[in-house]
Chain A
């Protein structure tokens, strides 16, 4: 069947998205889970082992502590407590750690160091998978077994104050709660006062067993001004006084009841040197964990070098401390110092419970668990333990008992350590089969695209897609059979759980069909290339091949170089540098081209193609309205000729010469607006200066100017109605920002109270939808009324301007200049570079792609999950709604690529040099996006045991997957636009 190259590329990309989805599902495996259903209650605890005789202690041991208070201080870094800051600002806690009856640890949080997975890890003892970061946006109720659930079913009364994530994770678990939202990151006093205000009353009442406080203020301060801000000290002092209050009150209560209570101070994650979190730097993963109880022995002069433990160890310790069963999915080991003062029999019992739970989890998750050293140690320890219990029951209180006891203890501890470690590494088990299937699909698509590249670029934009060719049907069926056989074999062997096997067989068969069909298509494309193109090549050999210009060479080498650079973790972290560098070099190359074509325009050789002829008439006559004049303006690559060198006047030549430098200057300014990446992120940048509270006036001014520039640049192509809507919409954007307190309103300086700005934002949404609607209407109309070229151009421009308006709403006010500069650069490039120099569609597409990527980073994005601006998903919404919030966040993050791609559509269809330009551009766009994805998938597969796989490569993989999805949507739009254009002609 015949397809235009655009439609072909769009369908290829769609298939590639499926492949990447399968790959991602295999790459981010489900975390270690117990297969036993969590509902199954009243499971009898493992009895104490006893050699020969049966033990008389089968019930769970009683709780060690009557009351437990957990104070979770968000983003509490270890040095805030154990470092010099702790001594200075947290004197009470420092005193307790040093002199009091307490145990201090540095608990290591596993990446992703984001609040919700960390709370899950603390309460379930398991390691949430990487994909949980993405689900952080909407935290559904925690389904896994956890301490809170166990405590509830044991009838404990729990009270919670703080981050409402807990309330969402544990709905109906607390007898009393007050969730505060972390919606307004700029607020760091109110969030904490909301927690503290309940404290006096609750401490006095004492009718609870567990009190959980989650303070968010410190994290917010970190996000605003970093870990060295003076605000940190004040916040730590506040926390210290709160802890002192709680501790003294607990001690007073203890004197009445005579049973010890436990105060736990911990952080969910640390804070990097920039104040953010999410990755795996030492600052982000090190959090203090301090257990304070009068049950612990006082150790005067304890060193200030706390032991490093895992964050997951808290769950088991908490369960033991409260006399609860240990959560089933727990991979942590009990913190031994907590039970150190107990009698030997109890110590062994606790350790036994923990080890049994871990080994059960190991049995369920590892097929060859018997060979695991931890399991062997456990079996050994259990046997020894049995002997010990037997001796103990025989009332043999000799030194042998003590000696044997210590030996069992040591055995248990090492078994715990090994088991915990091997379970933690289980999380990094990859589902290789799904990954291979996904990679196969992606690679086949890429090869198909690459094979058709010469055809699309050099000849016509129509492609023969030989899907139904009967010659290859035999190959197809054979392939399908082989694949099915492999599928059956792999899935029945069932070594480990595999996503692709768990799919319904129809879906799996569908993927098989896809794989074999693609293979047939590749084979036939290859044959065609060898047979037909070989003949054509001989014929063409007589022609002098059109030389590649420097810009072409740069575009090709830059793209290849960028793809190769993805193999190094530093280049992934600093990918923005790559793009800035490439864009700068592109501008310089363009500058060279403009110079040469201007100064040496006359004495150029005819075989050096049309780049050299430079006409300024484009500058003069080209406005968007009368671009119909130049319908046959651009010679395409095949039929180029120096026929268009009329009007070679020296008119405004300097604008052409200066424009690359202007673009360069714009890029330089944008680069210093947002420092991003890892190395540069801590450097002061303009956006920090703008967002600090004392520069609100400047920020307001800048936002207003940017909005004005945006209006000036966008309105020129719109119809009158859209112009008005655009103006009102941009005004609405400013009002929205003023309402939520980002900027100041000039005529209402004392804006009292911060609202969510729902009304203003929805006002803008109405205009966005209105403009998009008129644009689409015009586009459809141009399809009906034949040859109405102008309507189509205006329609496309209106869709583009609707997107710009939406972007203006979603971008933070300090990022509005990014949008304004993006429009400015698009205008400059269109008027002074692309039109006069007459680049062909492929070159323009690649340039648009480069600029789009650069603007992705100019906006402050990076390849780190933490830089995603989630607040964009809440604009204009009262409550969290998954679909619109996800859409808005994604659009807000990918503003750069989307806007540049939509500009590309408009530019190419307004030029309308040849009907196939858009189709060809779509093909190029699809190709240039799928090359990095395919390469990256292979790279990540080969680097899957790299140290930085979770912190650097995995987030980038998610970004690439998302980018591919967006590309697929864009290609679909390209093709749709192209179709409307095609039916017309």
Chain B
């Protein structure tokens, strides 16, 4: 059973990576002179939409959260609304964090905000899909030994690697190489994307390697 789970996890992750690839290639058929660096904001938006869409689709198809019971329509609607609010909140929170980290307050607001959006897409959206709008569950997953399934484990890994990627992405900014990707926030968004992809790749492998040691509370 575990191996099939891991396999499913791997396929879903490959699909996510594939969606990021698509977001860089598909728009160039429809839009003139589209490239990640030049029309960075467009790419950010498209990538964010793609990743969200794939995540939602996977959530509906795979339904990893088996424990979620059937509930009434109104309950579902409030749940969806709550998720949207959580997503927006996380965007704003990340925006605030970036400003606290030294992003300009009044200039480049759209750039900073879109960076917040893409980072929330990589982190908050999978959390919302998997855990729902339940802060206590989030805190549980992101503390030590609080993980209860491989899905949560992979969620932990991808989220942390996205954050670390964005964090590391800030390092080249002060360097004097004068490259186009050193401009705020391109290096950070690229770092976050690479971190996310790396997390997607690493987590199934890591779980597969450590499948003997991993014991979860509920199984």
Q: B97 to chain A: which residues have CB within 8 Å?
A: 588
Which residues of A (659-678) have their CB < 8 Å from a CB of B?
A: 664-665, 667-668, 671-672, 677
**B145 closest partner in A (C-beta):** A605
Instruction: Provide the residues of chain A in CB contact with B99, threshold 8 Å.
Output: 668
With a cutoff of 8 Å between Cβ atoms, the chain A residues found around residue B144 in the complex are: 547, 605, 608
B174/A574 in contact, CB under 8 A: yes
Contact A581 B101 (CB under 8 A): yes
Q: Are A599 and B139 in contact (CB under 8 A)?
A: yes
What residues of chain B lie closer than 8 Å to A570, measured between beta carbons?
174-176
Question: From residue B109, how far is it (CB to closest CB) to chain A in Å?
Answer: 15
A560 part of interface (Cβ distance < 8 Å): no
CA distance A573 to B105 in the complex (A): 23
B167's contact among A585, A596, A600, by CB below 8 Å, is which? Answer: A585
Q: Does B76 contact A (CB under 8 A)?
A: no
A568-B175, A585-B167, A588-B97 are contacts. A577–B102 as well, Cβ < 8 Å?
yes
The answer, yes or no, to whether A595 is at the interface (CB within 8 Å) is: yes
How close is B178's CB to chain A, nearest CB, in angstroms?
11
B140 touches which of A569, A600, A677 (Cβ 8 Å): A600
CB <8 Å contact, A668 and B100: yes
CB-CB under 8 A from A571, the residues of chain B are 174-175
Interface pair A584/B100, CB less than 8 Å apart: yes
Within 8 A of A (CB), among B109-143: 136, 139-140, 142-143
Looking across the interface, which residue of chain A has its beta carbon closest to that of B140? A600
Please give, as numbers and ranges, the residues of chain B lying within 8 Å of A425 by CB-CB distance: none
Interface string of A688-699 (1 = CB under 8 A from B): 000000000000
A580 in contact (CB, < 8 A): yes
- Give B175 Cβ to nearest chain A Cβ, in Å: 5
Within A587-625, which residues are at the interface with B (CB < 8 Å)?
588, 595-596, 599-600, 605, 608
The digit string for B84-106, where 1 denotes a CB below 8 A from any CB of A, is: 00000000000001011110010
Contacts of A672 in B (CB 8 A): 105
Q: Is residue B17 contacting chain A, with contact meaning CB distance below 8 A?
A: no
Q: Chain B CB within 10 Å — which of A547, A668, A677 has the most?
A: A668
Residue A368, interface by CB 8 Å: no
Determine the distance from Cα of A665 to Cα of B142 in the docked complex, in whole angstroms.
25
Q: CA A596 – CA B145 in complex, angstroms?
A: 13
B20 to chain A, nearest CB (A): 26
Q: How many residues of A contact B (CB 8 A)?
A: 27
Taking the complex as formed, is A679 at the interface, i.e. its CB lies under 8 A from any CB of chain B? Answer: yes
Do A600 and B100 touch (CB < 8 A)? Answer: no
Q: Which residues of A contact B139 (CB under 8 A)?
A: 595-596, 599-600
Task: For B47, list chain A residues within 8 Å (CB).
Answer: none
Q: Which residue on B lies nearest to A561, using beta carbons?
A: B171
Nearest-CB distance from B74 to chain A (Å)? 29
Tell me the dominant secondary structure on chain A's binding face: helix
- Tell me the count of chain B residues lying within 8 A, CB to CB, of chain A: 20
For the complex formed, measure the closest distance between the CB of B168 and the CB atoms of chain A, giving whole angstroms: 10
Interface residues of A in 542-582 (CB under 8 A from B): 547, 568-571, 573-574, 577, 580-581
Complex: chain B residue closest to A679, CB-CB:
B174
Question: Does B147 sit at the interface, judged by CB under 8 A?
Answer: no
Q: A605 to chain B: which residues have CB within 8 Å?
A: 144-145
Which residues of A sit under 8 angstroms from B143, Cβ to Cβ? 596, 600
Min CB–CB distance B101 → chain A (angstroms): 5
A608 to B143, CA, bound (A): 11
CA distance A595 to B142 in the complex (A): 11
Report the minimal beta-carbon distance from B34 to chain A, rounded to whole angstroms.
30
CB distance from B58 to the nearest CB of A (A): 28
Closest CB in chain B relative to A68 CB, distance in Å: 43
Cα-based distance from A588 to B174 in the complex (angstroms): 22
Shortest beta-carbon distance from A890 to chain B in Å: 27
- Chain A residues lying within 8 Å of B170, measured Cβ to Cβ, are 581
Determine whether the beta carbon of B167 is less than 8 Å from that of A667. no
| Cβ–Cβ < 8 Å partners of A668 in chain B | 99-100, 102
| Distance from B137 Cβ to chain A, minimum over Cβ atoms (Å) | 11
* Contact string against A for B residues 22-53, beta-carbon threshold 8 Å, 1 for contact and 0 otherwise: 00000000000000000000000000000000
- Given the known interface contacts A588-B97, A595-B139, the answer about A671 and B102 at a Cβ–Cβ threshold of 8 Å is yes
Collect the chain A residues with CB atoms within 8 Å of residue B176's CB. Answer: 569-570, 573, 679
With CB as the reference atom, state the residue of chain B lying closest to A948.
B176
User: Please, which residue of chain A has its CB at the minimum distance from the CB of B144?
Assistant: A608
| A664–B140 CB distance below 8 A | no
Complex-state Cα separation, A400 to B99, whole angstroms = 77
Distance in angstroms from A558 CB to nearest chain B CB is: 11
Is the Cβ of B100 less than 8 Å from the Cβ of A665?
yes
Closest CB in chain B relative to A189 CB, distance in Å: 36
Complex alpha-carbon distance, A581 and B97, angstroms: 12
C-alpha gap A571/B172 in the complex (Å): 9
**Chain B residues with Cβ under 8 A from A580's Cβ?**
101-102
**Across-interface contacts of A577 in B (CB, < 8 A):** 102, 173-174
Q: Are B100's CB and A667's CB within 8 A?
A: yes
Could you say which residues of chain A place their CB within 8 Å of the CB of B105? 672
User: In the complex the two chains form, what is the Cα distance from A596 to B142 in whole Å?
Assistant: 9
- Report the minimum CB–CB distance from A560 to chain B (whole Å): 14
B145 — which chain A residues lie within 8 A by C-beta? 605, 608
Report the bound CA distance from A26 to B168 in whole Å.
37
Interface flags, A618-653, vs B, CB<8A=1, else 0: 000000000000000000000000000000000000
Is the CB–CB distance between B100 and A599 below 8 Å? no
Distance between A662 CB and nearest chain B CB, rounded to angstroms: 11
Which of chain A's residues 908-942 have a Cβ closer than 8 Å to chain B?
Answer: none
Expressed in whole angstroms, the Cα–Cα distance for A568 and B177 within the complex equals: 11
> Which residues of chain A are within 8 angstroms of B101 by Cβ–Cβ distance?
580-581, 584
Within 8 Å CB of B102, what residues of A?
Answer: 577, 580-581, 584, 668, 671
Max chain A C-beta neighbours (<10 A), residue from B105, B173, B174, B176: B174
A41-B174 Cα distance, complex, nearest whole Å? 54
Report A915 CB to chain B, min CB distance, Å: 32
Q: Which residue of B lies closest to A680 (CB)?
A: B174
Q: Please give me the residue from chain B that is nearest to A565 by CB atom.
A: B171
Q: Could you tell me the distance in whole angstroms from the C-beta of A42 to the nearest C-beta in chain B?
A: 53
Q: Which residues of A contact B174 (CB under 8 A)?
A: 570-571, 573-574, 577, 677, 679
Q: What is the minimal beta-carbon distance from B167 to any residue of chain A, in angstroms?
A: 7
The answer for the CA separation of A969 and B23 in the assembled complex, in Å, is: 58
Question: Closest residue of chain B to A576, judged by CB?
Answer: B174
**Chain B, Cβ-Cβ closest to A605:** B145
B residues in contact (CB < 8 Å) with A: 97, 99-102, 105, 136, 139-140, 142-146, 167, 170, 173-176
CB pairs A–B below 8 angstroms (21 shown):
A547-B144, A568-B175, A569-B176, A570-B176, A571-B174, A571-B175, A573-B174, A577-B174, A581-B170, A584-B100, A584-B101, A588-B97, A596-B139, A596-B143, A599-B136, A599-B139, A600-B146, A605-B144, A608-B144, A664-B100, A671-B102
Q: A600-B143, A665-B100 are in contact. List 15 more A-B contacts (CB 8 A).
A: A547-B144, A569-B176, A573-B176, A574-B174, A581-B101, A584-B101, A588-B97, A596-B142, A600-B139, A600-B146, A605-B145, A608-B145, A664-B100, A668-B102, A679-B174
- By Cβ-Cβ distance, the 5 closest A-B pairs, closest first, are A574-B174, A570-B175, A664-B100, A570-B176, A668-B100
